[in-house]
Amino acid sequence: MKKSLSLLVIGFLLLSGSWPRAAEEQKAAEEYDEDTYGPQAPIIWEKPVKGVVFEHKIHTQGAGLECDSCHDELFPMEAGASAEKEDFTMKTLYDGGYCGACHDGDTAFASNKRCTACHIGVRGQARLSGSAAAAEGHGAKE
C-alpha cells in the first residue's frame, strides 16, 4: 500500500511538472555565482523612497545584462553610493537617469509604470529584513 501511494505521488509530481520545476529552481540557486551575477541578496533602497527592492539576479541571469551594463556609468560599484547623490530621485529616473536609462518603456517597463515590481513598501521591506520595527507606524501590530 505504501509503495502504491508513493508511486502515485511521484506520478502526480511528474505529470504536474512540480518535481522538474523544483529541481530546476534548486539547480539555478546552486549555480548562482555572485562574482558573475552580483550579490544574490536583494538590495533594499531607502532613497528616493523607502522600501524599493533591486535584485541583481533578475537583471543579470534573467535579462542577460552584464555588470558593466550598469556599473560604473549608471551606478557606482560601491554599495549605497547612488543614494548619497542629490539627483537620485524619481524625477531623475523618469528623465532617463539611473534605473530610468533602461526602464524607459522601450528597453524595459517604464519607471513610472508597474510600480509594485520594485516598490515593495515598508511592510515588504519588513518581511524581507525579518524586522517588524521597519513597519512601525505603518499599521504594524506592536
pLDDT value of residue 141: 43
Residue 125 has pLDDT above 70, yes or no: yes
Number of H helices, E strands in the chain: 6, 2
Q: What is the pLDDT of residues 26-66, one digit of tens each?
A: 555 568 899 999 999 999 888 888 889 999 999 999 999 99
Is residue 129 scored above 70 in pLDDT? yes
- For residue 43, give the H/E element and its range: strand 43-45
Q: What is the pLDDT of residues 5-30, one digit of tens each?
A: 555 556 555 555 555 556 566 555 56
DSSP string, 56-108: HHIIIIIT---GGGTBTTTB-SSTTTGGGSTT-SHHHHHTT-GGGGT-SSSSS
Average pLDDT, the chain: 80
